[in-house]
């Protein structure tokens, strides 16, 4: 499945260079992942409260190809590349129109009470769609 | 780390005609979680040095425990274009790690 989220770059997202601070893209991509999970009708807050379930980021490989500027309207594209029992690998891209600014591969693990757990079947089925 | 070798990014920018470092790539492993009130140490060392870029190996530690490890590739740029890392900076960083290839 592929998810898209529009993000605007504000002054608070930029650094002394005038471009978006590299850490800002990490936050934008996290929003993309959160919205992907929300689109599966899953509230991460509810899951945590009921079952102490949480997704944790295990690994990120990020390439910063081109910089964004304040006022740019960006698109965070997130797709599921691999779905295993307890982990998920996502491909993300931050686009400005046709231009790819940043790409990332993110490995996320499902945990319950801080220990590895199986990704719930309902979520798995929805992601495979 | 740059400040430890007596280089502040703003000085680099001012003295070397607008030189700045930009992050090109990061590979980050999140091994353990920090919690509020933890005191962490960020250890940074140069791992690889090229003409216009260098890789830094970083660890975020809580005592002896490595919580996060990352390799970060940074490139030297001036006016948005890749430039050679200044020799005095290259030499100062090489002193931090004798195993780095000579500039």
> Predicted ipTM?
0.91
A17-71: per-residue pLDDT in tens? 889 999 999 999 999 999 999 898 777 788 888 888 899 999 999 999 999 999 9
Mutate to test the interface with B, among A63, A101, A108, A111 (most CBs of B within 10 A): A63
- Tokens standing for residue A101: 């600014």
- Rounded to an integer, what distance in angstroms lies between the CA atom of residue B57 and that of residue B70? 6
Using a CB–CB cutoff of 8 Å, tell me whether A17 touches chain B.
yes
Asked about A15 being catalytic, the answer comes back as yes
Cα A103 → chain centroid: 11
B84-98: per-residue pLDDT in tens? 998 888 887 776 665
Q: Which residues of B touch A22 (CB under 8 A)?
A: 22-23, 26
**Stated pTM of the model:** 0.88
List the single residue in B with minimal CA-CA distance to A18. Answer: B80
DSSP state of B79: T
- Tokens standing for residue B43: 């250890």
List the single residue in B with minimal CA-CA distance to A58. Answer: B30
B33-89: per-residue pLDDT in tens? 999 999 999 999 999 999 999 999 999 999 999 999 999 999 999 888 899 998 888
DSSP states along A45-114: HHHHHHH-EEEEEEEEEEEE-S--BTT-EEEEEEEEEEE-SSEEEEEEEEEETTEEEEEEEEEEEEEETT
Measured between alpha carbons, how far is residue A119 from residues A37, A86, A127, A128 in Å? 12, 5, 11, 12
CB contact under 8 A, B27 and A17: no
A-B contacts at Cβ under 8 angstroms = 36
């Amino acid at each position: 499945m592929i998810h898209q989220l529009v993000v605007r770059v504000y002054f608070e997202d930029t650094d002394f260079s005038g471009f978006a601070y590299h850490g800002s893209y990490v936050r934008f991509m996290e929003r993309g992942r959160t919205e992907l999970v929300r689109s599966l009708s899953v509230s991460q807050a509810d899951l945590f409260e009921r079952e102490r379930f949480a997704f944790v980021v295990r690994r990120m490989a990020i390439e910063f190809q081109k910089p964004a500027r304040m006022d740019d309207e960006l698109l965070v594209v997130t797709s599921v590349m691999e779905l295993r029992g307890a982990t998920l690998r996502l491909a993300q891209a931050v686009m400005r129109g046709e231009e790819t600014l940043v790409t990332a591969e993110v490995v996320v693990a499902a945990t319950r009470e801080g220990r590895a757990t199986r990704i719930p079947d309902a979520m798995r089925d929805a992601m495979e769609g | 780390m740059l400040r430890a070798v007596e280089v502040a990014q703003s000085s680099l920018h001012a003295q070397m005609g607008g030189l700045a470092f930009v992050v090109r790539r990061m590979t980050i492993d999140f091994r353990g979680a920090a919690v509020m009130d933890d005191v962490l140490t960020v250890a940074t060392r140069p791992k690889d040095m090229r003409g216009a870029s260098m890789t830094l190996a970083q660890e975020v530690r809580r005592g002896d425990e490595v919580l996060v490890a990352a390799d970060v590739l940074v490139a030297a740029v001036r006016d948005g274009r890749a430039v050679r890392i200044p020799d005095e900076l290259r030499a100062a960083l090489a002193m931090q790690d004798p195993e780095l290839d000579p500039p």
